[in-house]
Chains A and B, each alone.
Chain A
Amino acid sequence: MMGRCTLHIALLVCFSTSALAVSYKLLGFQLRSSSLECQELLLKLNGTSKYCLKDRMNFEIPEEITKSQPFQKEEAILVILEIFQKIFDIFSRNISSTGWNETTVENLLATLHWQKEHLETILEEIMEEENFTWDNATLLHLKKYYLRIVRYLKAKEYSTCAWTVVQAEVLRDFFFLDRLINFLQN
């Protein structure tokens, strides 16, 4: 009886982990296509002008993101969600001065929002199922980084050049995001 019970529990654990593993793979696929669409939309926003070179700034993206430090799958999801949330937050601010195509910006926000919603759902599932612990340090460093970007925008009063610099920075973020997505594939 006990043997049978443990067998059932073992089977349940095996299959539930395999079920989660399946959705990680599909989530990776979703994330990649979202990231690609966002990058294409960002590139559509016409940007770089040589007058803006003087406004360039080193925002000091956190090292955990630039160096390919390995992440646990759940932690990778947390970090990816944070990045999507912050980029969404940035681009929902005062964009009027840029003269960018409104529809493109809306589509960008829509894609970011769509991906955010799905990540939040999965994260809530993970929170309920597993009691995993993560290191807050990476998230805090990310928040500091995005705070620097927002402060920069405020300081430059949301000028066109400031937005151009931020657009370039965010494009770079997507490059690192794609690397993070790879951690979901193992």
Chain B
Amino acid sequence: MFSLLGATTLVLVAGAPWTLPAAVGGINLKSPQNVEVHIIDDTFTLSWNRSDLAVGNVTFSADYQVPRNDTWLKLPGCQSITSTKCNFSSLKLNIYEEVKLRIRAEKGNDTSPWHNVDAFTPFEKAQIGPPKVHLEAEDKAIKINISPPGAKDGIMWALDSSSFTYSLAIWKNSSSAEVRTKTVYPRDKIYQLSPETTYCLKVRARLLPRKIGAYSPVHCIKTTVENKLPPPENIRIDAKNDIYVLKWDYAYENVTFQAQWLHAYFRKIPGSESGKWRQISDCANVKTTQCVIPQNTFQKGIYLIRVQASDGNTTSVWSKDKRFDPQLQSVLAPPVINMKSTNDVSLRVYISAPEESENKSVNQHYSVIYEIVFWENISNAERKTLEKRTDLTFPNLKPLTVYCAKARALTADERWNKSSIFSDPVCEKTKAGNTSKTWLIAGICVALLSIPVVSYVLKLLLRCIRYVFFPSSKPPSTIHEYLSEPPLRNLLLFTSEEQTERCFIIENTNILTAVEEPDQAGEDHKKYNSQTSQDSGNYSNEDESNGSKCGEDFPQEEAE
């Protein structure tokens, strides 16, 4: 018995080192599940789910691999992590290159199999975080200063910081607040606000082509008391020959104005623009609400112009920036419009670009839309449409009515807000309706077809009438044939004209006998003659007439 016991303990002790590892390794540790990578600005996080439930002391480690290297390197910030999330932002990756990750669970010396994450490009996966907003209040405007998302020396948006576009949502801090959204520059002002009111806003960044960022936290600010001197309003620039005329509106008198300009791109570059505004010397301290600027002041580019009023003691705030593109200001010439009436009671309108004039109309280099005003000549009820197309049709009009149209060109981009004058109106009459047209065609066809029919009927009718009222004096055709022989014809139709017969008196009896014989022989001849002419009388004469000659001929004939 003791030997048995001893043997079993020996076996147990000996077997233990084999069995124990088999019991622990491979069964419990499974690789983490639902592994995801999240990148917001410059923050890289890896998150996963535990596959085992509440097994203590399990840690997780991750590796990464870049395309040029075939080896797996340890992912910093993600080694021996006890929670289910890790941050590996400290790794200086090339954000435009693909990277591969893998993660596994570890417990002591045991490890789970690797869970491979699909290869990804950090830049593509990255999401835009909230931008930072700084606000400054004025009486009827709020100045905003937006810093691009991400850290200042971050790598994710390092090259794109000047390519962000920002959209802002603003509303009054009252209950029934209407939210206004607009696209803003990093340094911009929001106008048309009421003084001494609290406004709240939030901003988000957008990167073309398809990244839209998260909204910033909501910022609220109260506008100040209304200023004594309001800023000038409604700034506009018109080009004339070789000058620009800058005009604005101002309610009060006895004030002087000054104007400044800035390259618009400064709004997109980080840093202060305050020192970059330049005085427009031709508009310094003017007393009127306009000034004249020579055209060569502005080269190709986009500019911002602002005007300020001053009454000696106080100055107003700067007016709203007027966006100004010299290229566009030169001329938006009115388009050329043509109209044609089409068959189905509609009018087709053709719009073409204006001819190149001396003024170098540059509007053709911009995307232009057309505003077409269309009206019925008599009623004057106008129809306005905005179209990008240059060939359009107005259908379902009234037939045989005169309609008129005129068009003008507008810039497609609303920011420029430039339009040409209206072209001269063109008028055109619509054609007759579809139904009357088809009746017309049908009528013509019927008329054409009916002509031969009618003429045939008429012909028959005429024949009938002629037969009844004007019978012909011709005998019927059968009799006509029958009587076609000239002797009989002579007998029936002509009153006898005395036929004189030519008579020859033959005195010589020799000749008579000679004649008689051939008579017998000539009976055939006679008979022949009698057959041909069925009148015994005539034949003898004819025979006689021929007879003398025949008498001389007969012997000759008999001989033959």
Contact = CB atoms under 8 A, between A and B. Distances in A.
A42 to B, nearest CB: 15
A167 to B, nearest CB: 18
Nearest to A26: B365
A140 B390 CA distance: 38
A113 B209 contact: no
B265 A89 contact: no
B97 A144 contact: yes
- Interface of B: prevailing SS: loop
A58 interface: no
A144 B96 contact: yes
B159 interface: yes
A147 B159 contact: yes
Interface of chain A, helix or strand or loop or mixed?
helix
B300 A114 contact: yes
Report the contact-size class of chain B (Cβ under 8 Å from the partner).
35 or more
Given A107-B301, A147-B96, A147-B158, A113 B263 contact: yes
A104 B308 CA distance: 29
Interface stretch (A15-23, A47-55, A157-165): A15-23
Interface in B351-398: 364-367, 388-392
A123 B121 contact: no
Given A16-B389, A19-B390, A123-B208, A85 B160 contact: yes
B390 A109 contact: no
Interface of A: 12, 15-16, 19, 23, 26, 29-30, 37, 78, 81, 85-86, 88-89, 92, 106-107, 109-114, 117-118, 120-125, 127, 134, 136, 140-141, 143-144, 146-147, 150
B132 interface: no
A85 B162 contact: yes
B552 interface: no
A110 B209 contact: no
Contacts of A29: 365
Contacts of B392: 15
A111 B300 contact: yes
Interface centre among B209, B366, B391, B412 (most CB of A within 10 A): B209
A132 to B, nearest CB: 10
Given A110-B301, A147-B158, A125 B96 contact: no
Contacts of A121: 367, 412-413
Given A16-B389, A140-B123, A143-B159, A125 B367 contact: yes
Contacts of B161: 89
25 contacts: A16-B389, A19-B388, A23-B367, A37-B300, A85-B162, A88-B265, A106-B263, A110-B264, A110-B265, A110-B301, A113-B264, A114-B301, A114-B302, A120-B208, A121-B412, A122-B367, A123-B209, A124-B208, A125-B367, A140-B96, A140-B121, A140-B124, A141-B96, A143-B159, A147-B96
